[in-house]
Copies of this chain bind each other. A is one copy, B any other.
């Protein structure tokens, strides 16, 4: 018996939200590149070279506030979005209720988009903290559902 089929509505929904949050995570690379290029802040000597103007040498900078803020947000995405997609895929494989599954996917996606906005604008705390926590709880809730279908 197949556990997922190409017409499985939970999988179909997971495909959407998982792809959206991964694309959101990848967007952080472009945000980093934007600040690096506009502020001429690079980590590698070979990156500096192409942006030197006559008479002005560039050296690697590791502590630019804007670049580091985007990088912390990107790392936080890796720490939270990757677990969501992995646990979410295992959760999809266990054949959950469609309504409940969509609820998990949507809450997580909303929470992480809010988290990014709160980090980049920035919005005052505890907005970012709450968004982070809601995302974690959603993933843990799916993890519990997976464990109920697992066998050590």
A58 in the interface (beta carbon within 8 A): no
Q: How far is the CA of A44 from the CA of B94 in the complex (A)?
A: 39
Q: Which residues of B contact A152 (CB under 8 A)?
A: 13, 16-17
Complex contact B1–A3 (CB within 8 A) = no
Complex contact B1–A1 (CB within 8 A) = no
A130 in the interface (beta carbon within 8 A): no
A54 in the interface (beta carbon within 8 A): no
What secondary structure prevails in chain A residues at the interface with B?
Answer: helix
What are 10 of the A-B contact pairs (CB < 8 Å)? A3-B8, A6-B95, A11-B93, A15-B90, A16-B147, A18-B86, A18-B90, A19-B147, A46-B122, A50-B126
Residues of A within 8 A of B (CB): 1-9, 11-13, 15-19, 22-23, 25-26, 28-29, 43-44, 46-47, 49-50, 62-63, 69, 72, 74-75, 78-80, 82-83, 85-87, 89-90, 93-95, 122-126, 128, 132, 136, 139-140, 143, 146-147, 149-152
